A and B are shown apart, each in its own frame.
Chain A
Amino acid sequence: MAVIPVERKPLTLLERTYIPQIVGGLKTTLRHLFRKPITLEYPEVRPEIPKGYRGAPTLVYDPNGREKCVSCQLCEFVCPPKAIRITPGEIPADDPNAHVEKRPKEFEIDMLRCIYCGLCQEVCPEEAIWLQNTYSISGYTRDDFKHNKAKLYEMGGTLPDAHFKWDKKKAAEQAAAHGGHH
C-alpha cells in the first residue's frame, strides 16, 4: 500500500490569532440567519411520505370490496415481537366470497410491540397486510394502541390488485364444473 506522507504546515501568525477563521465562521452563520427555515411546523405542516415508507401495518380490501386477508396466520408466526394476534373465522356459505373459505374473525396488532420491520407484509401470500403512511400513533391507554380489525381496515382502505387470484380460481372452477377444459 502506498504511503502518502501528509505535510502538516505549521499555522501562520494570522491563523494563530484565530481571527480569519472566526470571521469565516461569522460569515457562514450570517448567511444562515437570512435563510428560510428548513424545518416544518409539524402538526400543521406534515412531511411528504416517500414511496415505500414503512408506517403502521394495515389490512386492505381488494377493489371489489373483499377483505384480502384469509387468516393464514403467517404474519402472526413471522412477527418478531409477536405483535399480531389473529382469530381465524369461516366465511358462511351464503356469502359471495364463500369460495375464499376463511377470513379473520378478529385481527389485532399491538402497536406498542410492533417494530415496523415489514416482515408481515413480506410474508403475506395474499398481499393483504401493508405497512402504509401512518407514522404518528397516539393513545391515552395501552388498549388504545391495540389496533383491532375494524381499525386496521379503516387505516388500510382499498389498494389496487394485480391478480384477483380468488376470482380467477372461482372462474376456473366454474368452467371445470361445466365440463370445459382450460
Chain B
Amino acid sequence: MFDFYFEIPHWIRLIIQGLAVILVLFPIAAACSMAERKVAAWIQDRPGPNRTIAPILAWIPGIGFLRKLGLFQLAADGGKFMFKEDIVPAHVNKFYFVAAPILAVIPALTTVAFIPFGAYLDAAGKVVPLILANVDVGILAVFAISSLSVYSVILAGWASNSKYPFLGAVRASAQLISYELSMTLSVLPVFLWINGPLAGEAAGSFHGTLGLARVVEFQSQPGFVGGLWFGFIMPVSAFVYLVALFAETNRAPFDTVESEADLVNSFASEYGAFKWSLFYVAEYCHMIVGSAIFMLLFGGGWNPLPWVTLADFASLIGVAHLPIVTGLLGIGIFVGKVLAMIFFFMWVRWTLPRFRYDQVMKIGWQKLLPLSIGNLIFYAVAIALLTK
C-alpha cells in the first residue's frame, strides 16, 4: 500500500518527514496559547474565550463544542497576527530586529529532529523508535541547539534600542546561562547509568550513546529495576531538570524575563504582529521539546505505565502484529504525556507568583547547581558500588 513512498528519493522523503513533524509541532505550539488562556480561565473560575465563530460555520450542528473550547478564537488570533500591520520602529537596528524572531524559531523547531516522538513494533516484534535523526549525539545536540535561543533574546533586546527590552535581554541571558548548567548536570546521571558499567551486562555488545531513544529502551527492560522509570530511580535529577526547564523556557515562576510589571514586555516590547507571535510560538516549542525530553529521560517515553512497556501493552490489547496501530499507539501515549506536562506548566503558571530576579539567581547558583553536582557525584559513586 505504501510502497510508492519508499520509491521516492531518500532526501525528498527526509524533507517530507521533517515538514510533517514541523507542521504538527507548530500548530500544537500555537494551540498551546489558547490552552493557556483556557486553563487560566478555568483555574480562575471563569469560562474563558468561548464566543468567536465564523457566521458560516455557526450553521454546522454540534460545532458549539469547538466554539466553547475557543478554537475559532485561536484561528482569529492567528489570522490577526498574519495580517495586521507589521511595524518596525524607526529607532531599531533593522537587520537584527528582524533576525531575532527568526533566530528564536529556528532552534526551537530544529531540536525536534533529535526527539523520538513514538515507536512501533516491526514484524519481528522489535520496538523501533520514530525519530527524524536517530543520531548518537542525541541529548547533546538538543542542548547545543536549544541554548542558541538565548541569542534571539539578546539580539531582540539589543536591536530594539530601548531600555526595557535591553534590561530584559540582560536578565534573560544571565538566567538562561545559569540554569543551563544545572540542567545539563541533572541529566548526566541518566547517561552514566545507561552507558556505564551497568549497561554493559544489560546490553551485551552495546557501545554507548547519548541518543534519547536508547534511554527509553533502557526503561523498557524486564525485571523490577529494568521496568522502573528513571524518574523513580533518580527523583532528584528529575526535580532539578524540571525546575531548570521552567527557568530555561522562561515560564512562571521563573518568568522574570518578561515580568510585565517591571519590564513592560521585556525583549518583545518593541515587537508586534507576526514577529511577536513567533517569539511566543518559539517559547511553546521549547516547552514541548523540553517536556518531551523530560518524558523520555524520566517518564518512560512511550511506555504507558512503569513495568508495562509499549510491546506488552500492544500484545495485551491484541494489536502487536499491526505496525501502523502500534505506531499510532506509541505516538499517542508519548504525545499525551507531553501534553500532560504542558498542562502542568500552565497549572504552575496560574498557581505561583513570580520569583524576584535575585531569588532566581540565588536558586540557580546557590541551590540548584550544588544539588545537581551532589546528585551527579552520588550516582557516580552508586553506579561504581553497584558494579563492584
Contacts and interface: CB of A to CB of B under 8 A. Distances in A.
B379 interface: no
A87 interface: no
B47 A32 contact: no
Contacts of A182: none
Contacts of A26: 347-348, 351
Interface in A13-54: 22, 25-26, 28-30, 32-33, 35-39, 41
A37 B351 contact: no
B162 interface: no
B143 interface: no
A12 B127 CA distance: 48
B45 A37 contact: yes
A29 B351 contact: yes
Contacts of A38: 45-46
Q: On chain B, which size bracket covers the interface? A: 10 to 19
Contact of A37 (B46, B347, B352): B46
B347 A29 contact: yes
B43 interface: yes
A35 B347 CA distance: 15
Contacts of B347: 26, 29-30, 33
Contacts of B41: 37
Interface in A120-173: none
B42 interface: yes
Given A37-B47, A41-B47, A25 B352 contact: yes
B352 A22 contact: yes
Contacts of A35: 45
A26 B42 CA distance: 14
Nearest to B239: A19
Interface string B33-54: 0000001011111110000000
B350 interface: yes
Residue from B44, B47, B351 having most chain A Cβ neighbours under 10 A: B351
A25 B253 CA distance: 13
B46 A39 contact: yes
Rank and list the top 10 A-B pairs by shortest CB-CB distance, nearest first.
A39-B46, A29-B351, A25-B351, A38-B45, A37-B47, A29-B43, A37-B46, A33-B42, A32-B43, A26-B351
Interface of B: 39, 41-47, 347-348, 350-352
Given A25-B351, A26-B348, A32-B44, 13 more contacts: A26-B347, A29-B43, A29-B347, A29-B350, A30-B347, A32-B42, A32-B43, A33-B39, A35-B45, A37-B41, A37-B46, A37-B47, A38-B45
